[in-house]
Structure 1
Amino acid sequence: MNYEFFIAKRIIKAKQYKSSVSATIIKIAIAAIAIGIVMMMVAIATGMGLQKTIQEKVAAFNGHIQITNFDNNKSEVSLKPLAIKQDFYPDFTQVSGVTHIQAVATKAGIIRTEKTFEGVLVKGVGTDYNWAVFEEFLTEGRFPNVSEKRENREILMSAFMARRLELKLGDTFKTLFLKENTSEIPNERTFEIVGIYDSGFQKFDANVMLVDIRHIQRMNKWKNGEIGNFEVFIDDFGSIDAQTEAVDKATFSTLKAKSVITKFPFIFEWISLFDVNIFLIIGIIIIVGGINMITALLVLILDRTPMIGILKALGSNDLSIRKIFLYNAAYLIGIGLLWGNIIGIAFIWSQHTFGFLKFPNPEQYHTSIIPIHIELWHILALNIGTLVLCVLMLLIPSYIITKISPVKAIKFQ
């Protein structure tokens, strides 16, 4: 054990240290570090939680990557049929990280009731559809049964759409689908609501309903093995650009793969701004915490001026004495980080478990409960970064020790 660390340890344990004039200022500095780490953890957890929630909801409706005909990749409606028999379907083994692939088709229609009407985007799904991504959205009823030998009338409708149309679970209604030749009589289908979902994402809830894909195949006069497009799910959203490129290369030149980021750029540009806010909050809090620690360090130095004079008289150099106070400051920062982590982790766990904090305007953030997501490495990086940056900020103020004269310091005692 070097003597600088030994002296710093003795100062920390001394009774005078806890009852000195500087004790109150030191407690304030510790509290500032603790509150700061709590605020930074909450900022990261809520920011990343909101990003992850929106990403998952957009992917639930569209998949992470869509494979379409090259000349149909800008349309919301399936125009040109695509053969379901592909080398990459039903198991996309050509690209690592792909967890699921499903065939779907979409068609625009108009729901007509006795009182009103509403435009709708009908999404046809088959037996390969991954209903697991919709389980948390399901509020009433069940999912449509698309595994029967014959197509049925069952549909899954959003709670938002049901309220606008004044429909409820078990109701039936008619939907009109225009043909390519608009002069022809539209196709009419009667559907029954067997399930109601609420994703909180109004962009999709306002018009998307799910039905048996065979309805769309029949209305479009497609063959049984023809679909609108494929939806691909991956295990890591962070690598979506690289995965999209790999998927595109693994498909024929007549097909085009595009990610949900490309399809909905405004949504992902918006949530990318959360990163800027997070870094801005972290930067401000670290500066504030560092300033508090600088104040505490200067008070410690003034409080221990006689000791500094004695150490210099005994032959200690300025660097060694600065180390003593930097060790002391690092200890105070560590105490603040410890309490901050305890409070912050407890708060994050409580919000994740009970969800007691909610958005006052959930339609703006596409979720009612404030979501939480943070990983262990985020917490570790935050603690290490705060400790290192605060200690570095203390290097310049600790230079004041070199200006203290041993003779004057000892007389001051």
Structure 2
Amino acid sequence: MNYEFFIAKRIIKAKQYKSSVSATIIKIAIAAIAIGIVMMMVAIATGMGLQKTIQEKVAAFNGHIQISNFDNNNSEVSLMPLDVKQEFYPDFTEVSGMTHVQAVAIKAGIIRTEKTFEGVLAKGIGPDYNWAAFEEFITEGRLPNVSEKRENREVLMSAYMARRLELKLGDTFKTIFLKEDTSEIPNERTFEIVGIYNSGFQKFDANVMLMDIRHIQRMNKWKNGEVGNFEVFIDDFGTIQEKTKEVYDTISSNLDTQNVTNKFPFIFEWISLFDVNIFLIIGIIIIVGGINMITALLVLILDRTPMIGILKSLGSSDLSIRKIFLYNAAYLIGIGLLWGNVIGLGFIWAQDTFGFLKFPNPEQYHTSIIPIHLEIWHVLALNIGTLVLCVLMLLIPSFIITKISPVKAIKFQ
């Protein structure tokens, strides 16, 4: 054990240290570090949680990557059919990281009731549809059964759409689907609401209705094995651009790919701003915490001025004495980090488990409960970064030790 660390340890354990004039200021500095680490953890957890929640909701309605015909169709509606017999379907084995592939088709229509009407995007799905992301959105009823041999009238409608149409679970309604040739008589279908969902994402809740894909195949006069497009899910959203390129390079030349970040750029540009806010909050809090620690260090130095004079008279170098106080400051920062981690992680666990904090305007953030997402490397990076940056900020004020004269310091005692 080097003697700087030994002396710093003795100072920390000394009773005078805990009852000295500087004790209150030291406690304030520790509290500032603890509060700062809590605020930084909460900022990261809520920012990352909101990003992840929105990403998952957009993917639930669209998949991460869409594979469709190479045409000029910029609408959501499926116009040209795709043969379901593709090398990548039902299992995309040529590209790693693919978790699921599903075939869908979309057709625009108008829901008509006795009192009102609403436009709708009827999304046709089959037995391969991934309900995992949708199950948590269900508020009433059940999922439609699309696995039977014969097509049925069951649909899953959003609570937003049901409210506007004044419909409820178990009601039946008629939907009109126009044909490409507008001179022909439109298709009319009667459906029954067997389930109601609420994703909180009004952009999709306002018009997306899930139904058996065979209705769309029949209305579009497609064959049984023809679909509108394929939706591909990946295991890591952070690799979506790379995976989109890999998928594009793998599929046939007559097919095109598009991922959700390109399809909905405004949504993902908006949530990318959360990163800027998180870094801004972290930067401000670290600066404030560092200033508090500088104040505590200066108070420690003034409180221990006689000791500094004695150590200098005994031959200790300025660098060694500075190390003693930096070790002491690092200990105080460590205490603050310890309490901050206990409080911060406890708060994050409670919010993730009970969800007691909610947005006052959930329609703006597409979720009612404030979501939480924090990984272990976030916690480690935050703690190590805070400790290192605060200690670095203390290097300059520690130079005041070099200005202390041993004679005056000992007289000061």
Q: SS at the partner of 1:245?
A: helix
Cα deviation code 1:336-384 (max 9, x no counterpart)? 0000000000000000000000000000000000000000000000000
Instruction: Give the structure 1 partner of residue 122 of structure 2.
Output: 122
Instruction: Give the structure 1 partner of residue 150 of structure 2.
Output: 150
Instruction: Give the structure 2 partner of residue 405 of structure 1.
Output: 405
- Structure 1 residues 386 and 73 mapped into 2: Cα distance closer, same or farther (>3 Å)? farther
Q: Contact conserved, 1:72 with 1:78, CA < 8 A, in 2?
A: no
Instruction: Give the structure 2 partner of residue 363 of structure 1.
Output: 363
CA deviation after TM superposition for structure 1 residue 184, in Å: 1.7
1:334 corresponds to 2:326: no
CA deviation after TM superposition for structure 1 residue 74, in Å: 2.4
Structure 2: distance between partners of 1:114 and 1:354: 42
Instruction: Give the structure 1 partner of residue 91 of structure 2.
Output: 91
Instruction: Give the structure 2 partner of residue 102 of structure 1.
Output: 102
Instruction: Give the structure 2 partner of residue 343 of structure 1.
Output: 343
* RMSD over equivalenced CA pairs, Å: 0.6
1:182 corresponds to 2:182: yes
Q: SS at the partner of 1:43?
A: helix
Instruction: Give the structure 1 partner of residue 208 of structure 2.
Output: 208
Structure 1: distance between partners of 2:354 and 2:287: 33
1:395 corresponds to 2:395: yes
- Structure 1 residues 261 and 242 mapped into 2: Cα distance closer, same or farther (>3 Å)? same
Structure 2: distance between partners of 1:237 and 1:356: 28
Instruction: Give the structure 2 partner of residue 269 of structure 1.
Output: 269
Structure 2: distance between partners of 1:335 and 1:357: 28
Structure 2: distance between partners of 1:29 and 1:182: 74
1:38 corresponds to 2:38: yes
Structure 2: distance between partners of 1:27 and 1:17: 12
Instruction: Give the structure 2 partner of residue 220 of structure 1.
Output: 220
Unaligned runs of at least 5 residues, structure 2: none
1:294 corresponds to 2:288: no
Q: SS at the partner of 1:131?
A: coil
Q: Contact conserved, 1:73 with 1:256, CA < 8 A, in 2?
A: no
Structure 2: distance between partners of 1:313 and 1:241: 65
Instruction: Give the structure 2 partner of residue 12 of structure 1.
Output: 12
Q: SS at the partner of 2:321?
A: helix
Structure 2: distance between partners of 1:74 and 1:103: 19
Q: Which amino acid aligns with 2:340?
A: G
Cα deviation code 1:312-338 (max 9, x no counterpart)? 000000000000000000000000000
Q: Which runs of 4+ in 1 moved over 6 A?
A: none
Cα deviation code 1:171-223 (max 9, x no counterpart)? 00000011111122111000000000010000000000000000001111111
Instruction: Give the structure 2 partner of residue 26 of structure 1.
Output: 26
Structure 2: distance between partners of 1:331 and 1:149: 70
Alignment of 1:311-322 (within 5 A): 311-322=311-322
Cα deviation code 1:11-68 (max 9, x no counterpart)? 0000100010000000000000000000000000000000000000000000000001
Q: Which amino acid aligns with 1:252?
A: S
- Structure 1 residues 395 and 187 mapped into 2: Cα distance closer, same or farther (>3 Å)? same
Structure 1: distance between partners of 2:295 and 2:73: 60
Instruction: Give the structure 1 partner of residue 242 of structure 2.
Output: 242
Instruction: Give the structure 1 partner of residue 62 of structure 2.
Output: 62
TM-score (norm 1): 0.99
- Structure 1 residues 248 and 73 mapped into 2: Cα distance closer, same or farther (>3 Å)? farther
Instruction: Give the structure 2 partner of residue 169 of structure 1.
Output: 169
Structure 2: distance between partners of 1:311 and 1:226: 86
Q: SS at the partner of 1:157?
A: strand
CA deviation after TM superposition for structure 1 residue 75, in Å: 2.1
Structure 1: distance between partners of 2:72 and 2:327: 65
Structure 2: distance between partners of 1:257 and 1:138: 30
CA deviation after TM superposition for structure 1 residue 72, in Å: 4.9
Instruction: Give the structure 2 partner of residue 132 of structure 1.
Output: 132
CA deviation after TM superposition for structure 1 residue 73, in Å: 5.5
Structure 2: distance between partners of 1:241 and 1:75: 22
Q: SS at the partner of 2:136?
A: coil
CA deviation after TM superposition for structure 1 residue 257, in Å: 1.0
Instruction: Give the structure 2 partner of residue 80 of structure 1.
Output: 80
**Corresponding residue pairs, total:** 413
Structure 1: distance between partners of 2:361 and 2:399: 51
